[in-house]
Amino acid sequence: MLSFFLAVLLAQAPSPSASPAPTATPQTVVVHIKNFAYVPEQLKVAAGTRVRFVNDDDMPHTVTADDKSYDSGNLDKGASWTHAFAKAGTSTYVCAYHPFMRGSIEVTAP
């Protein structure tokens, strides 16, 4: 009788393969703004990656897309801003206050 109940319990237990597959969370990459430069200046990421820009300088900076598709606004010392790059292609950006500061992100298909 005990073996019958064990067989019934085992038959009702969910199998390990029945659990849903975990969903992938987007990766976050950090670009530092220091010494009046984006570090790294050039970056290559997969589509869907979030890039977090952190201002380590004493001066305010921005992260402004050349095509105006995104703009961080003013980033004071210690401030950060995150942008998700969803579309494959190359995105170039500049600091609106210091136009000699330039960076680029190559976004590859997922």
> Which domain CATH number covers 33?
2.60.40.420
For residue 8, what are the CA distances in angstroms to 3, 4, 19, 109?
A: 9, 6, 20, 48
- Rounded CA-CA distance 39/24 in Å is 27
Count of structural domains within the chain: 1
| 54 in any annotated domain | yes
Structure token digits, residue 83: 């942008």
20 or 88, higher pLDDT: 88
- What is the CA angle 33-67-48, rounded to 5? 65
Q: What is the pTM of this model?
A: 0.77
Domain that holds residue 58: 26-108
| 59 in any annotated domain | yes
| 16 in any annotated domain | no
Pair 39, 32: CB distance under 8 Å: yes
- Lowest-pLDDT range of 11-15, 45-49, 67-71, 94-98: 11-15
Percent of residues, the chain, with pLDDT higher than 70: 77
pLDDT band, very low/low/confident/very high, at 3 (cuts 50, 70, 90): low
pLDDT band, very low/low/confident/very high, at 18 (cuts 50, 70, 90): low
Q: What is the pLDDT of residue 110?
A: 80
Nearest 10 degrees: Cα torsion 39, 42, 44, 47: 90
Q: What is the pLDDT of residues 58-107, one digit of tens each?
A: 999 999 999 999 999 999 999 999 999 999 999 999 999 999 999 999 99
- Rounded CA-CA distance 14/49 in Å is 34
- What is the CA angle 69-23-89, rounded to 5? 30
| 55 in any annotated domain | yes
Mean pLDDT for the chain overall: 86
